[in-house]
Structure 1
Amino acid sequence: MLAVGPKDLLFLFSEPMDMRKSFDGLCGLIRNCTDKNPMDRNIYIFVNKSRNMIKLLRFEGDGFAIYFKRLEKGRIELPKKQDDGTVSLKISHATVMMMLEGIGLEKRKNRKRHQSKNSL
């Protein structure tokens, strides 16, 4: 089972993805487009062009797990894209949960919280 916790590192791919890709194709994208290893237990997030499908990929120690969601109505709202040329964007647990639940990202207001050096 793919579980997403608040301490997990999550990386959203900024370009739309072909949702026909499975484990090997997604791992290849991670290796070829980033400096990351897909077996590092981080969670990698992919969204298709029409933004009605999302995949989360994670290595769980003995194999890969994919969470795949297809919306019957609506679209997945994505965080603003960075113009620095990066392929993947580090995002927070809260952002992923809001994306999966259909909560708008633009109008949210983050309240001040203490953050340690290791947090997002």
Structure 2
Amino acid sequence: MMAPGQIFCVIEPVDMRRGMESLSQWIQTSLGTTPCDGTAYAFSNRSKTRLKLHIWDGTGVWCCQRRLHRGAFVWPRADDRYWVMTQDQWDWLIKGVDWQRLSAPAPAHWHV
């Protein structure tokens, strides 16, 4: 599978029983984009224990699912429909690590 141009984390949870066609239609109608543009679209379930990745590789669609046995994925919170992630943020997210804390500045009241 090729590396995606962008990674969009869809904020709204989806039913993990949805397949490629259903997710492709959701991308078109809800985001107004084409699912065949090289962007990876990541979806989560309500409890954030599963994620599904939908990506076009130039010849077909990949639809992969990942499940955590313990804990939950740290999903972005935003007012928008999706959150654009960097490759580093994505790598940490799929490992179950709080990727939002990796680039957070130290609190101003901390002294060394």
- Which amino acid in structure 2 is aligned with residue 82 of structure 1? A
Q: 1:104 Cα deviation (Å)? A: 1.4
Gaps of 5+ in 2: 106-112
Q: 1:40 Cα deviation (Å)? A: 0.7
- Which amino acid in structure 2 is aligned with residue 52 of structure 1? T
Identity over the aligned pairs, expressed in percent?
A: 23
Q: Secondary structure at the match of 2:101?
A: coil
- Which amino acid in structure 1 is aligned with residue 103 of structure 2? K
In structure 2, C-alpha distance between the alignment counterparts of 1:67 and 1:19, rounded to whole Å: 11
2:54 aligned with 1:57, yes or no?
yes
Aligned pair count reads 105
- Which amino acid in structure 1 is aligned with residue 50 of structure 2? M
Q: Pairwise mapping of residues 99-114 of structure 1 onto structure 2 (< 5 A)?
A: 99-109=93-103
Which runs of 4 or more aligned residues in structure 1 lie more than 4 Å from their structure 2 counterparts after TM superposition? none
| Mean CA deviation greater in 24-33 or 59-68 | 59-68
* 1:3–1:102 Cα change, 3 Å: farther
In structure 2, C-alpha distance between the alignment counterparts of 1:14 and 1:21, rounded to whole Å: 16
Greater CA radius of gyration, 1 or 2? 2
Q: Pairwise mapping of residues 4-83 of structure 1 onto structure 2 (< 5 A)?
A: 4=3, 8-79=5-76, 81-83=77-79
User: 8 Å contact 2:53–2:64 — kept in the other structure?
Assistant: yes
* 1:50–1:3 Cα change, 3 Å: farther
TM-score by length of 1: 0.79
Q: Secondary structure at the match of 1:41?
A: coil
TM-score by length of 2: 0.84
User: 8 Å contact 2:9–2:43 — kept in the other structure?
Assistant: yes
